[in-house]
Amino acid sequence: MAVDPGLKSRLFSGRHDLKLSEALAGILDLDAPEARLAAAEQAVAAGLLSWAVGDAASGAAALGLSRRQAVRLRLCATLLAEMERQSWAMPAPISGPADVLAHLVDIRGAAQERVVAIYLDSRNRPLHRETVAIGGLRASVIQPRDILGPALQLPVAGIILAHNHPSGDTRPSADDLEVTRQLAAAGRLFGIELVDHLVVSRSGFTSIKELGGL
């Protein structure tokens, strides 16, 4: 990667055409942002929100970041996650998988699996989005209560579950199908429909409902 010698001056100039990785490099080290640009690009490629949870310190160390810079990365990710939680809204009704994809941009290209639940009202209008898990969807780990919990606090009629496959292969695994079956059965006990379960990647998606899994 070529070092951009003008990055520091562009950061101080207040320009609005900075890439996310360039802005993050400035936050990590404003005195020498060029030296942190490669690490910032890797952090963004891995999914910036993923640095808000789990053992971010070891991952940051692998990027060559100091402890102080690792804390800055984690705080940036935490702030971004909270801003997303407070501002996220999808008022238009969802009629199919294509309507959901535009709202899964943050997970489609992430390097780590992330599981998201979208909670719908009786007219299929989204009420809330929750990141249920980061790191994988396994029937032995993800339980229906983890997904249904937020639904019981809202006037929810349906749920759309979605998760990414970093490999790019969106074919559902046995665990994907088992979690779908368990959640659909548990939801029926509370009068909540599992509308669909999408497996997504940067290049495509698979609807488990369209495969006949619901």
pLDDT at 182: 93
Does position 197 have pLDDT exceeding 90, yes or no? yes
The predicted model gives 173-182 an average pLDDT of 92
pLDDT at 136: 67
Q: How confident is the model at residue 186 (pLDDT cuts 50, 70, 90)?
A: very high
Nearest CA to 154 out of 195, 122, 185, 115 is that of: 122
Instruction: Give the domains, in start order, of the chain with CATH numbers.
Output: 7-86 (no CATH), 97-207 (3.40.140.10)
Helix axes 67-87, 20-28, angle to 10 degrees: 130
pLDDT at 140: 45
Query: Of all residues in the chain, what percent carry a pLDDT higher than 90?
Result: 30
Q: How confident is the model at residue 14 (pLDDT cuts 50, 70, 90)?
A: confident
Query: Of all residues in the chain, what percent carry a pLDDT higher than 70?
Result: 88
Residue 197 has phi, psi (to 5 degrees) of -135, 115
Residue 152 in tokens? 């019981």
Question: Per residue in 94-132, pLDDT tens?
Answer: 988 888 987 798 898 888 899 999 999 999 998 889 988
pLDDT at 201: 92
pLDDT at 185: 95
Distance (Å, whole) CA 74 – CA 94: 33
Q: Which residue has the higher pLDDT, 1 or 20?
A: 20
Q: Tell me the C-alpha to C-alpha distance, in Å, between residue 101 and each of 112, 208, 210.
A: 18, 14, 15
Q: Which residue has the higher pLDDT, 136 or 118?
A: 118
pLDDT at 86: 66
